[in-house]
Amino acid sequence: MHADSWALKAKKSGFRTRAVFKLDEIIQKTQVLKRSKYILDLGSAPGGWSQYIKQKSKKSEVYAIDILDMESVEGVNFYQESIENIDTIDPIFSLMGSFDLAISDIAPNLTGIHAIDTENIFELNILTLEVAARYLNKSHGSFIMKTFQNSMLKNLRKKMELSFKIVQTFKPAASKKQSGEIYLYGAYK
């Protein structure tokens, strides 16, 4: 399907972004939502993924964080903050080690200079991985993170493998082929 068609489908379904269909494919393949109640949405604005989680799993408790403001999503606890400062958000901090699923669609602002962008993506992914590893339940937690196909990807996947028992790579159909974006999935069980 063409990128515009995914955008149209998202609009018709009442979702704020077509990124929901990328998450949907990974969720369908891993069935991870069935065993997840406490969910951390890192880089959540404008809120498509949070909407999707609440629609698919009414019982879920979603905590969402973004440096940008986000229009409220019913049932979602949103905090406008950088993930660097996540420990300062008391309601999230008090759940450290209890999250069943962390999802991250975070990407840095691109400069257009390949070497700098590659480095910035890697640094932000490592920070996100470190946050997820601290906040997830170590016995069964799972993590879905957006990244990009570049020279640091192997290195990033190795770091994921040090944290998680299972690591998989996904290139969802709704993700533009030329974008280079891919998603890493990690699970403790």
Ligand X SMILES: C[S@@+](CC[C@H](N)C(=O)[O-])C[C@H]1O[C@@H](n2cnc3c(N)ncnc32)[C@H](O)[C@@H]1O
Interacting residues with ligand X between 106 and 135 (CB under 6 A): 106-107
Residue range at the interface with ligand X (CB under 6 A); choices 38-46, 54-62, 137-145, 158-166: 38-46
Does 67 interact with ligand X (rule: CB under 6 A)? yes
Does 172 interact with ligand X (rule: CB under 6 A)? no
Per the CB < 8 A criterion, the answer to whether 135 and 104 are in contact is no
Task: List C-alpha distances in Å: 140 to 15, 133, 137, 151.
Answer: 29, 12, 6, 30
Catalytic residues, by residue number, are 146
Nearest to 143 by CA among 108, 171, 180, 104: 104
Does 47 interact with ligand X (rule: CB under 6 A)? yes
User: Among 26, 38, 43, 64, which residue interacts with ligand X (rule: CB under 6 A)?
Assistant: 43
Does 45 interact with ligand X (rule: CB under 6 A)? yes
Bond preceding residue 46 cis, omega within 30 of 0: yes
Does 48 interact with ligand X (rule: CB under 6 A)? yes
